[in-house]
Structure 1
Amino acid sequence: MGDPSTLLCIQCIINHATITDIIISVGDFNLPNLKWQFDEATNGYIPPNVTSVHEQILVETMFTISLRQINSFVNCNGRLLDLAFVNLPEHLDLVLPPSSLLPVDNHHVPLILLIDKCCDASPLQDVRDDERNFNFRTCDFSILNNVLGDVDWEVLLQDGSLDEIVATFYDKLQRTINDHVPRRRPSSSSSFNKPWWTPDLRNMRNNLRKFRKRFFLSRSDDDRGNLRQLEASYKVLLQSTYENNMSRIQASVKQDPSRFWDFVKQRNSNNRIPHNVSYDGVNAHNNTEAADLFATFFESVFSKGSPVQRHDCYAHLPSYDIDLPDHFSTSEVLKALEDLDVKKGSGSDGIPPLL
């Protein structure tokens, strides 16, 4: 599992996954010398003793694509061979089964993976479903250059109007980028990174995970009742910490306005429709109903009629004759490209200067 080809396959799966997908990579990576220690900041296990090239490739690749290692069960020899990399560690658990279905291999511990689909779908989850940025800094530009160099641009761009030729050029370029430039997945929207996440909430979350494991193994009515009670307490504390954080932001507007604007900036960076939308006593149950409520709210400030087009104003616009060259030399184009600042962001076409 630790060879580069396998890691490349995992990277390919990541590139084609959406932000809402749960990604799990489990198997024998055959790196018994790694010692995994739990890290609260990432809510997963990290190895502090990376030494070999294979260990370094594995750790750097998995952590770069926002996967966390959650397995800590060693085999009878005290070694951890089977690793479990996931993208949402707060919603997945590994437990030992009460009994195995097949004879147990001394080198590999039988495991059961629990997936918690009851995610905290409240105003606490700020994720843009379509947010997958291209990571040009990790792109293999030699491959990209070869692919673009093999294109017969003179044949591809010889027909059509100027607008059609430009559209054809960008279409071919975008297809090449989609196929050969890796994507940078945003870090999982873990609750641990939220400003209202308190130590008490963290401890209760950890206890909740332990109770779920206990109930899964025992299936007793007492553990079921304790689990349900703890789940209810966790939801109450989660909501209260969020509301307390909002109250603190509102109360500190005059004394600390930067805190308020940080919150506004965070909210504005999210383009998704809120989970809970209501207006005038009506609750939306899906995105279409939410959009209708927004339309109803803003109905008083927009007109339903079509705007009247006036062409007579065009006659009073001044005209200019601009002497533009009809040909640019290769050296002029190269000079313009060399003057680009690769540290700048993309323009309106989405193509970064680095490319």
Structure 2
Amino acid sequence: MIDNTIRLYYQNCRGLRTKTHEFFTACANSDNDVICITESWLQPHVNSSELFCLDSFNVFRKDRCDSNSRKKEGGGVLVGVSRKFKAELISDIANTTIVEDLWIQMSISKDEKLYICACYFPPDISCDDVLNYLDSVTSFMDDHGDDTFVFVGDFNLSDYVWSPDSADGDLKPNVISRSPYTGFSDFCSYNSLSQFNGVRNSNGKILDLVLGSTKSIGVCRSDLPFIEEDLHHPALEADIRCGFDMRKPFKSRSLYKYFEADYESIKEDLSKVCWDDILVSQDINECVEVLYSVLHDVIDRNVPQRSSKNEKFPVWFSKQTINLIRDKRRFHVEFKRFGDTRDYQRFSELRSQCKTHIKEDYNKHISTIEDNIIGNPRNFWSFVSLFSKNEQIPHVLEHNNKTLTDDITIVNQFSGFFSSFFEDPDKPVIYKRKNNNNNSAIFFNDISEAEIAAKIASLDGSKSSGPDLIPPFFYKFLCYQPGETFAHNL
């Protein structure tokens, strides 16, 4: 079934620095596509990996600092976008140090974009500052008239009273005579923006707004906030319907099940290979290609495969938690498809169970690392590294007047760029096999077969595979075979 809805979560958090643990586990349980946070109160020393699993989300932040705000403490906006979508940061739309905003562009189609703006208006903002900001935004929207805009954030319009306007679910404000409120009403009217949030805070007011240039937005109060709600700012969930699925196409891939391989047949097939007849090139790169061609052919014939579901879960998730998450997603899809309230009830129950299990798994993971820090310090430093890293692969790369958004294409672009700095990357490397008498070749006779075999034998069979996707224990198996050994041919 095509999913044409973007699920957005919003919360004014009133500070995340002391709530990273709670936010991280809640995010791991979330099925939202976009997560918008205002008043994050974050500072540069807090890594995004402490809040999000970066394998699942691209994270954009605008922490409050001297260059973008008149104040030093508090503030800050954050947007996390699922890696299922192509998203990039748009900067310098309003160029203001008063309103804190973060603009994200998502591709709806080849010619149409969805712009999501997470923003925070300080309560002491002046009338002129509001109007100047709205004028700048209007100019940008005029230049992108065919695109869709969604604004979410804390607008601090405490004097506004919102009432239903139509059956579409949008609301209109009472007419306010004094500025800047009239300017805000004019801004919404001119840009055909509707307000969809009707959830009131403890004082009966609506400070957090969800504005959209489309009528296809539904907003409700979140029944499972990421962190404890502030009395003035209920957590919100919004469904933005786009007409068709904006998610990146699913790319399935096959994985080899090496533990179920037919190693007797592998041994027999390799014994029939006459390496001296096929490794005849003097170009080391060509010989490596031939070697891998033979290995992959043998692997394809004797190692079963399975289709990858392309799902990434944190290493500390238990199997029970993963199964609960899959069941939760299944019932959510069923509810969206048929509208049966029993499916939603079951979905809600599973979501609560997932939240509990994720917290238990995470706490257990932390306890295990702490209890074994002396005997196994490597796990501790792996954990520190995991929560200290920032994004490894940029989600958008512009090079040679091209905009690249696919991870593989970006990695290949980096590879091509850096390889161009080598003196002569196309010049073949000449090597010398022991039975060749060409004196112009480079000799490797000082590296013995025993040394190669010893190096392969020293590989840690419990480690994962390298760039060739062949696990270390497979190479160790090849070196232990009788007759002409694999090490001999290397």
Question: By the TM > 0.5 criterion, same fold?
Answer: no
Q: Which protein has the bigger helix share?
A: 1
Structure number having the greater strand percentage: 2
TM norm structure 1: 0.31
